[in-house]
Amino acid sequence: MSSLLKADVWVSSRLPIAIQRDGQSSAFSPISCTLIHGTHEAVLVDTPISTTQTTDLIKWIEETAPTKTLKYIYITHGHGDHWFGIPLLLKRWPSARAIATPATVAHSQGQLEPEKFINIWTRFFPSQIYQPQKTAEPWLSDTFTMEGHEFRIIEVGQTDTHDSTALYVPDIHLVVAGDIVPEKLYRRMQELFPSRINPHAILAGAKAAFGLNAYEFKKTL
């Protein structure tokens, strides 16, 4: 018999960007991470950027699901702001598996190339990103399970970035959408999965879509 599922959402603080734009300071939009948990286990969708944010997320998970083991960390897409927290989370929950589609993993690996990681990420957030970094491992199936509940990976292609995905949890009619624009997600679901997906709730991966600063930054990635 499957357990009952609950979903809780953590939202990061805004992360100041070290480089000024037009002489003015700016900050990265808050990032949301979703914890879906049953009786004994949990799945986390996406991570924040900095060590401080990830430490805060870990404390929140410990308070929200204190007796539960993190089984999977699912990464929705390759932008580093949604997976740079993986190493610290795996330190806290070493039995957990960080997973993503092969295309997302390939994109993530590109984020660690000097052109992106040194020239962009560490310039924007110096001494705030944990090193050495670790990407998710490629997950070859389009589903995984936790306590008898199925989690479905929805590949939606180009949205905020290429090879984007969302995660659908049928038993609670929930879609965790990463950085997919909601209107586009609805259109893609109608096109690709008209009879299989009927969400009652869609959770975005960044507060207020991206916010101008984050969107302009992400266009370079």
Model confidence, pTM:
0.85
Report how far residue 220's alpha carbon sits from residue 169's, in angstroms, rounded to the nearest whole number: 32
Q: What mean pLDDT do residues 180-185 have?
A: 53
Q: Is the pLDDT of residue 37 over 90?
A: yes
Per residue in 84-116, pLDDT tens?
A: 999 999 999 999 999 999 999 999 999 899 988
Task: Report the 10 Å Cβ neighbour count for 69.
Answer: 12
- Residue whose tokens read 């659908």: 168
**Cis amide prior to 30 (ω within 30 degrees):** no
What are the domain boundaries of the chain? 6-218
Least confident stretch, 50-64, 123-137, 158-172:
158-172
* Cα atoms in the Cβ-side hemisphere of radius 13 Å centred on 121: 25
Is 6-218 in CATH node 3.60.15.10? yes
* Cα of 2 vs its chain's centroid, Å: 25
Report how far residue 104's alpha carbon sits from residue 155's, in angstroms, rounded to the nearest whole number: 10
> Is residue 116 within 8 Å of 110, Cβ to Cβ?
yes
pLDDT band at 190 (very low <50, low <70, confident <90, very high): low
